[in-house]
Amino acid sequence: MAAPQVLVAGAGVVGLSTAYYLSGRGFSVQILDPGPFPSPTTCASLGVLTHFNGGDDPYSQLYRQGHALHAELAARLRDQTGIDVGWRPLGGVDLACSETEIAEARQLLAFNLERGCPAEWVEGEDLRQLERSLSARVLAGVYFPTDQRVDPELLSRALLQAAQEQGARLSLGEGVEEFAQQGQGVRVRTRAGEHRADFLVLAIGAWTGELAQHQGLSLPVRPVRGQHCRFTGGTELRHVLRHQGIHLVPAGEEILAGATVEETGFDTQTTPQAAEHFIHLFSQVLDLPARLLGQRAGLRPKPKGGRPHLGPLQAQPRVFVAAGHYKNGVLLGPLTGQLLADWIATGRPPFDLQRFAPER
Ligand SMILES: Cc1cc2nc3c(=O)[nH]c(=O)nc-3n(C[C@H](O)[C@H](O)[C@H](O)COP(=O)(O)OP(=O)(O)OC[C@H]3O[C@@H](n4cnc5c(N)ncnc54)[C@H](O)[C@@H]3O)c2cc1C
């Protein structure tokens, strides 16, 4: 029997993960994306896979499973493709530079410990031992040993290569303009022509709301711009640092500082104001020269109500949605791909995902 065919719209981390797990289960997969590849939003991500402070609600469970999957996936992708996706169990530190921030950090520690998240108070010599490059302004911190990082661009390239080795194809220049389930299959129109398949997965990030509206559907996912800056000094930093909502992340030879949260629609410009803000924060926290190398912007897919949209459409059950991962798409992308591949293969969600139903 011929392998069932799946069209995956979107070659960001969510679409690529879905293509990877589907092709691994023997599906014939074609990925459609207008380009460029790799996705600018996925590449703008800092790749931080941060700790989570407990909770038994479905989103917290998803978050924990997503976090746990990365180490194993990185090892598998290295074996399959030879690509090191840069997964590192770095640990993270939330920094406090004033008495007010110390009081807030103590609350953060208590909150996390109450929910069973490993965390520790660090100050003085212990803090300097942990992170030698901290400036004298930093007084104390909360250390989270389970924070990790992965390189989103390398992860994208490895997922694509592995998926291609399993038979998947990537067609760039093919944005989905229209889709419809017809009988037990789907018909998809792109600028380049028409495709038919057994299933369609919509993993088009911030563009989901727009396409859905065009189709007369309500999938409220909108773009929220995020920017980060790249600095020299990556080898001097050992942990993910957080201060005033901004991350400083060691990424090979570079330090990434980000990210902004901006309601600017589909505008992907970077701004000098964002760079100034990151340079200021970098210089406050680190005793290193702030040498700017570059700047990136991406469009986070923000869902209404905070939870991603996962699963089949009610009236078109062969069309699956995987969108709205907002600030956690790199963390949740691989798990999303694994869940959807399972769901499509077995006809059932692997566990109760009702809370993430696309139309809600
Ligand atoms: C500055 C910044 C920092 C971030 N930091 C982190 C972090 O530390 N950790 C974390 O987990 N997440 C982080 N994120 C969030 C993360 O980057 C996103 O959640 C994730 O990239 C979303 O992936 P996606 O595949 O859903 O969307 P995208 O990466 O945007 O991919 C969607 C793809 O769909 C394509 N597309 C659009 N329209 C169509 C169409 N009609 N047909 C076919 N294809 C289409 C696009 O071209 C694109 O390639 C950050 C984001 C930003 C901007």
Query: Comparing 48-52, 74-78, 101-105, which segment has the lowest mean pLDDT?
Result: 48-52
Spatial CA neighbour of 54 closest among 132, 1, 114, 101: 114
Identify the CATH homologous superfamily for domain 5-85+151-220+304-356. Answer: FAD/NAD(P)-binding domain (3.50.50.60)
183-237: pLDDT as tens digits: 999 999 999 999 999 999 999 999 999 999 999 999 999 999 999 999 999 999 9
249 CB near ligand 1 (under 6 Å): no
Residue 67 in this model has a pLDDT that exceeds 80: yes
Residue 23 in this model has a pLDDT that exceeds 90: yes
Quick one: how far is CA 79 from the chain centroid?
Answer: 22
Please indicate, yes or no, whether the overall pTM of this predicted structure exceeds 0.95.
yes
**Distance between CA 89 and CA 194 in Å, rounded?**
44
52 CB near ligand 1 (under 6 Å): no
Provide the token pair at 169: 């194809």
Name, in order, each residue with C-beta under 8 angstroms of 198's C-beta and a sequence gap of 6 or more. 4, 5, 6, 184, 185, 186, 318
**Distance between CA 15 and CA 206 in Å, rounded?**
13
Structural class in CATH, domain 92-148+223-303:
alpha beta
Residues facing 248 on adjacent strands: 241, 257
> For the CA atoms of 217, 221, 225, 231, what is the dihedral angle to 10 degrees?
-130
24-63: pLDDT as tens digits: 999 999 999 999 999 999 999 999 999 887 777 888 889 9
- pLDDT value of residue 2: 82
Ligand 1 geometric centre to CA of 225 (Å): 11
Name, in order, each residue with C-beta under 8 angstroms of 328's C-beta and a sequence gap of 6 or more. 63, 66
Residue 14 in this model has a pLDDT that exceeds 80: yes
Ligand 1 geometric centre to CA of 350 (Å): 24
Ligand 1 geometric centre to CA of 300 (Å): 6
**Distance between CA 323 and CA 176 in Å, rounded?**
15
The number of C-alpha atoms within 13 Å of 168 and in the hemisphere containing its C-beta is 31
Name, in order, each residue with C-beta under 8 angstroms of 287's C-beta and a sequence gap of 6 or more. 133, 134, 135, 136
Nearest CA to ligand 1 atom 4: 45
Q: Which atom of ligand 1 is closest in space to residue 326's alpha carbon?
A: 19
122-176: pLDDT as tens digits: 999 999 999 999 999 999 999 999 999 999 999 999 999 999 999 999 999 999 9
* Residue to mutate, 8, 39, 255, ligand 1, most ligand atoms under 8 Å from C-beta: 39
Q: Which atom of ligand 1 is closest in space to residue 38's alpha carbon?
A: 49
The CA-CA-CA angle for residues 190, 320, 162, to 5°, reads 75
- pLDDT value of residue 212: 97
Give, as one character, the DSSP assignment of residue 38. S
288-329: pLDDT as tens digits: 999 999 999 999 999 999 999 999 999 999 999 999 999 999
Give, as one character, the DSSP assignment of residue 3. P
Each domain of the chain, given as residue ranges in start order, spans: 5-85+151-220+304-356, 92-148+223-303
- Burial letters for 256-291: b for 16+ Cβ neighbours within 10 Å, e otherwise? bbbbbebeeeeebebbeebbebbbebbeebbebebe
- pLDDT value of residue 218: 94
285 CB near ligand 1 (under 6 Å): no
**Distance between CA 95 and CA 242 in Å, rounded?**
6
242 CB near ligand 1 (under 6 Å): no
Name, in order, each residue with C-beta under 8 angstroms of 344's C-beta and a sequence gap of 6 or more. 4, 6, 22, 27, 199, 201, 320
334 CB near ligand 1 (under 6 Å): no
Ligand 1 geometric centre to CA of 124 (Å): 39
Instruction: Place 333 in a pLDDT band, splitting at 50, 70 and 90.
Output: very high
* Residue to mutate, 18, 45, 202, ligand 1, most ligand atoms under 8 Å from C-beta: 45
Ligand 1 geometric centre to CA of 140 (Å): 34
203 CB near ligand 1 (under 6 Å): yes
- pLDDT value of residue 87: 98
3 state SS of 327: helix
229-259: pLDDT as tens digits: 999 999 999 999 999 999 999 999 999 999 9
